[in-house]
């Protein structure tokens, strides 16, 4: 049997040809195979995720998937986390805020389609915008309170009739009236440790989701000290 004309006689030449043919095959798969592109996209997300996941909740920002039309990939990611890291709660960072049947559909999206364990919501349309999420009794509802962005002060520091800042009014409202099933938490940014302390004093041992460590400038030590109940 004659040797293949594509097989190099030399060791290094043969290795070079193998690498070249493999590269050409990968390039062709990327161009022509949609399934391969999807698998590659998932690998890009899941490989670093596998090294990062530990004991903390997996917080997923839905906007980055929705903007790319990648809701199916988000669903795959949630399925992957549940199957490989079943002890980790999945927090869908959506910051939804709407009323009526629209809020009901957003709740179904979070808890039925993606099967998230918790979702972030905005309270600024009132209780009826949050109630559809609370009807899922075994799920967490994380309400925006004092957010980590500078512009949050535009509204959250506005005073109620009794002089209470709006963010503290939200904290009290959630703790005293909305959290009847013990499923609520609040978002309070690490960039405002003083406010974390004030919120903690209002809500007791209710959980806090605290963004803002790192690039936004939040301090870990100050945050932990302020957030201890």
The domain locations on the chain are: 12-55, 56-227
Angle formed at CA 100 by CA 95 and CA 102, multiple of 5 degrees: 55
Q: Radius of gyration (Cα) for the chain, nearest Å?
A: 24
- Give me the catalytic one of 95, 137, 139, 177: 95
Better-scored residue on pLDDT, 144 or 217:
144
Sheet holding 58-61, edge to edge: 58-61, 90-96, 118-121, 140-146, 184-188, 208-209
Question: Does 3.20.20.70 match the CATH number of domain 56-227?
Answer: yes
Average pLDDT of the segment spanning 90-115 = 95
pLDDT in tens, 160-200: 999 999 999 999 999 999 999 999 999 998 888 888 999 99
In this prediction the pTM is 0.74
* 95 included as an active-site residue: yes
Q: Please check the confidence at residue 221 and state whether its pLDDT lies above 80.
A: no
Per-residue pLDDT band for 142 (boundaries 50, 70, 90) equals: very high
Q: Please check the confidence at residue 109 and state whether its pLDDT lies above 60.
A: yes
For residue 49, the model assigns a pLDDT of 47
For residue 215, the model assigns a pLDDT of 65
For residue 133, the model assigns a pLDDT of 98
Q: Partners of 59 in the beta sheet? A: 91
pLDDT in tens, 39-86: 656 555 555 544 444 446 788 999 999 999 999 999 999 999 999 999
For residue 57, the model assigns a pLDDT of 73
CA–CA separation, 28 and 162 (whole Å): 67
């Amino acid at each position: 049997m004659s040797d293949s004309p594509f097989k190099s006689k030399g060791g290094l030449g043969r290795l070079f040809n193998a690498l070249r043919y493999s590269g050409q095959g990968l390039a062709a798969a990327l161009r022509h195979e949609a399934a391969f592109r999807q698998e590659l996209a998932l690998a890009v997300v899941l490989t670093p995720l596998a090294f990062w996941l530990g004991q903390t909740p997996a917080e997923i920002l839905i906007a980055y998937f929705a903007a790319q039309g990648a809701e199916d990939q988000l669903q795959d990611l949630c399925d992957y986390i549940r199957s490989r890291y079943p002890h980790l709660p999945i927090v869908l960072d959506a910051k939804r805020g709407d009323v009526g049947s629209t809020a009901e559909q957003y709740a179904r999206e979070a808890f039925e389609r993606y099967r998230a364990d918790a979702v972030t919501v905005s309270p600024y349309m009132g209780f009826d915008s949050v109630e559809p999420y609370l009807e899922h009794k075994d799920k967490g509802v994380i309400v925006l309170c004092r957010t980590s962005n500078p512009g949050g002060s535009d509204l959250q520091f506005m005073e109620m009739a009794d002089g209470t800042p709006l963010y503290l009014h939200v904290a009290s409202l959630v703790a005293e009236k909305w959290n009847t099933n013990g499923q609520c938490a609040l978002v309070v940014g690490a960039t405002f440790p003083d406010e974390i302390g004030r919120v903690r004093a209002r809500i007791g041992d209710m959980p806090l989701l605290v963004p803002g460590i790192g690039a936004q400038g939040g301090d870990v030590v100050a945050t932990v000290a302020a957030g201890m109940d």
